[in-house]
Amino acid sequence: MTTLPRSLTVTAATLALLAGSTTATRATTALAAPAPSATQSSASAGGSPTSGYRWTMKPTGSDARFRGLAPVSKRVAWVSGTAGTVLRTLDGGTTWKDVSPQGLGTEKLQFRDIEAFDARRAVILSIGEGGDSRILRTSNGGASWTESFRNEEATAFYDCMAFTTPQRGVAMSDPVDGKFRLIRTTDGGRTWSRINPKGMPDAKEGEAGFAASGTCLSAGAGRRMYLVSGGTNPARVFSSRDAGRTWTVADSPLAGSPSAGIFSIAYRGPSRGIIVGGDYLAPTAATENAAFTTDGGKTWRKSKVNPSGYRSGSDWVPRTRATALAVGPTGSDVTTDGGRTWKSFDTGSFDAVECTRDGACWASGELGRVATLKR
C-alpha cells in the first residue's frame, strides 16, 4: 500500500480496506503520515535516537505495507501485508525472498497477521468481510501454501491470531451475535474449529478489534491469552487462562470510539502487561494511548508520560527488566519502567514490532519498511 495524502477523502468501504475492522463501518487502523523511503535509516528519516536505541533499516525491495510481522530469531523473520505479499529472510534482513502464496486467489488480500515458528513453518491471516478473512499455512518455507480456513459468515471480520505453542493457536473476529468470535487450532493451523461462545463475555454496542499489527490478540505465559478492543468507551481488555475457552474482561483507562481504543497488548510473565493505542485519526495525539498493569490485568493504570502519538504495536525487549517498545505511523517510543513513562527515540513510520528470545527486536510498516533495533 502506498501512503495516501491526508487531504484525500475516502469512503467507508475504502477506509475499511486501509484500516482493518471496526464497528459498523469496519474502519479501524491508521491512515499513516507519509513515510521515508524504505532504504533510509531511521536517523536520516528524522529520528533522534534516545538512550542508545535506534532502528537499522533492512531494505526489502517491496512497497507493500507490512502490518504482519513474525521474527523467529536474529536471522530469521517473516513479514506479510498488502497485495497478498509475504517475504522471508534467513540472514537477518540482508536479503529477502518473496514467498507469497501463488495460484490461490490471494493477490488482492491483505495479510494483516503472520505467526512463524521457524524458517519453514508459518501461518498467515487475511482480513476482510466474509470470504476475504482467510488463514493459510506453509511447512516448506513458503514454497507452497494451503488454505485451512475461509470465513463463511457475512458478519464476521477476522483481525488477529496468537499461538501459545506451535500447535495451539486462536484467531479472533469482531463480534458476531453479540460476542467476539473465536476459532482454534490444535495442529499448527491445519484445521480450525469454533470455540464455544459461552465462555466469552458479551461485547458492548460498537465494540470491535483493530487489525493494525496482529497484536489485538496476544499469547502470554502458559495458556494465557489476551484480547483488546476499541469502538466503545472505555476500551477493554479480555483475559483467558485456558487458551481462549473462558474469558474475563476489565475496563481500561484508554478511551474508545469508532477510531480509537487499544490496538496492541503485550505481557511479560503472568503479572506485568502494557497496552497501547489511541486514535488513528489523531496520529500525533499523545493522550490516553498507553497503560500498564502489575497485577495480571485486574487493574490498569494510565502511563504518567505517554508515547508521542497513536501507537499500533508493542512488545517487551528481551534481557531487560522493564523495557518495552511501542510503534506507530508517527514514530517509536521506549519505556524502561514497565510502561509508566515513555520516551520517543525515532520518528519513522512503523505498524508492528516484535522481539525474539535471542534478543532481537524487529519492526515493519508501510512502503516495505523493515528494521532491527540497535541498542
CATH number, position 339: 2.130.10.10
Asked whether the beta carbons of 71 and 91 are under 8 A apart, the reply is no
Asked whether the beta carbons of 332 and 315 are under 8 A apart, the reply is no
In which region does residue 46 sit, left (phi positive, over 0), alpha (psi from -120 to 50) or beta (all else)?
A: left
Instruction: Provide the percentage of residues in the chain whose pLDDT is more than 70.
Output: 86
Query: The cell 533492512 sits on which residue?
Result: 58
Q: HSE-up of 329 (CA within 13 Å, CB side)?
A: 26
- Whether cis (ω within 30° of 0) applies to the bond prior to 253 is no
Beta pairing class for 313-316 and 179-185? unpaired
Query: Higher-confidence residue: 7 or 173?
Result: 173
The answer to whether residue 32 scores a pLDDT higher than 50 is: no
Answer whether residue 147 is part of any domain: yes
Domain residues for the domain of 72 are 39-374
Q: What is the mean pLDDT of residues 158-170?
A: 98
The answer to whether residue 4 scores a pLDDT higher than 50 is: no
Compute how many other C-beta atoms are within 10 angstroms of the C-beta atom of residue 25.
15
> What residues pair up with 71 in beta bridges, in sequence order?
77
Residue 37: the pLDDT is 38
Answer whether residue 8 is part of any domain: no
Q: For the chain, how many structural domains are there in total?
A: 1
The three grid cell numbers given for residue 123, joined into one nine-digit string: 501461518
Residue 10: the pLDDT is 29
Asked whether the beta carbons of 331 and 348 are under 8 A apart, the reply is yes
Q: What is the pLDDT of residues 134-158, one digit of tens each?
A: 999 999 999 999 999 999 999 999 9
Q: What is the pLDDT of residues 297-317, one digit of tens each?
A: 999 999 999 999 999 999 999
> Which residue type occupies 321?
R
Q: What is the pLDDT of residues 257-272, one digit of tens each?
A: 999 999 999 999 999 9
The phi, psi pair for 13, rounded to 5°, reads -65, -45
> Which residue type occupies 109?
L
> What residues pair up with 290 in beta bridges, in sequence order?
276
Answer whether residue 28 is part of any domain: no
Answer whether residue 272 is part of any domain: yes
- Across the chain, which distance is largest between two alpha carbons, in Å? 52
Residue 52: the pLDDT is 87
Q: What distance in Å separates the CA atoms of residue 255 and residue 325, rounded to the nearest whole number? A: 21
Q: What distance in Å separates the CA atoms of residue 206 and residue 193, rounded to the nearest whole number? A: 26
Q: What is the mean pLDDT of residues 204-221?
A: 98
DSSP-based three-state secondary structure for 282: coil
The answer to whether residue 34 scores a pLDDT higher than 90 is: no
Answer whether residue 96 is part of any domain: yes
Q: What is the mean pLDDT of residues 333-355?
A: 98
Instruction: Provide the percentage of residues in the chain whose pLDDT is more than 90.
Output: 86
Residue 368: the pLDDT is 98
Q: What distance in Å separates the CA atoms of residue 231 and residue 208, rounded to the nearest whole number? A: 6
Q: What is the mean pLDDT of the chain?
A: 89
Residue 51: the pLDDT is 62
Answer whether residue 11 is part of any domain: no
Q: What is the pLDDT of residues 105-132, one digit of tens each?
A: 999 999 999 999 999 999 999 999 999 9
Q: What distance in Å separates the CA atoms of residue 367 and residue 60, rounded to the nearest whole number? A: 9
Q: HSE-up of 167 (CA within 13 Å, CB side)?
A: 2
The answer to whether residue 20 scores a pLDDT higher than 60 is: no
Q: What is the mean pLDDT of residues 17-22?
A: 44
The answer to whether residue 15 scores a pLDDT higher than 90 is: no
Asked whether the beta carbons of 233 and 206 are under 8 A apart, the reply is no
Answer whether residue 15 is part of any domain: no
The answer to whether residue 26 scores a pLDDT higher than 60 is: no
The answer to whether residue 22 scores a pLDDT higher than 50 is: no
Instruction: Record the pTM.
Output: 0.89
Q: What is the mean pLDDT of residues 24-39?
A: 36
> In which band, very low, low, confident or very high, does the pLDDT at 43 lie, cut at 50, 70 and 90?
very low
> In which band, very low, low, confident or very high, does the pLDDT at 9 lie, cut at 50, 70 and 90?
very low
Answer whether residue 7 is part of any domain: no
> In which band, very low, low, confident or very high, does the pLDDT at 354 lie, cut at 50, 70 and 90?
very high
